[in-house]
Structure 1
């Protein structure tokens, strides 16, 4: 089963990690989840910052 990765430099999804690990977020089971990776990272960061403020 393929895995999908989001490349933070190219802003593209890669199947089966074609770039260096420092450039990738993942793995994700579907291309759609990998495409949403950056949005999910931003959401988590906002949640963590809100907790830190409490």
Structure 2
């Protein structure tokens, strides 16, 4: 297993791709295998955030939909 010093990171503050641990951890997104993948980090983050928000919305609304009354179906 390789450590992150040989991987690529996206610097959230500068928008630059970095190799290894150039900036503090809170400022980095990654790791990525290639600089091209790291450059796409904002898109990846945006898509994952959207997916998580959609999933949370589904979980928050679970069980709150219309309840069918089975006794009505028999009539």
- TM above 0.5: yes
Count of aligned residue pairs for this structure pair: 54
Distance in 1 (alpha carbons) for counterparts of 2:30 and 2:53: 22
Task: Output the aligned Cα RMSD.
Answer: 1.3
Of 37, 42, 49, 2:41 maps to 37
Distance in 2 (alpha carbons) for counterparts of 1:19 and 1:3: 13
Name stretches of at least 5 consecutive residues in structure 2 with no aligned partner: 59-75
The structure whose RCO (Cα within 8 Å, separation 6+) is larger is 1
Structure of larger gyration radius: 2
Name stretches of at least 5 consecutive residues in structure 1 with no aligned partner: none
Q: TM-score, normalised by structure 1?
A: 0.90
Say which structure is richer in strand. Answer: 1
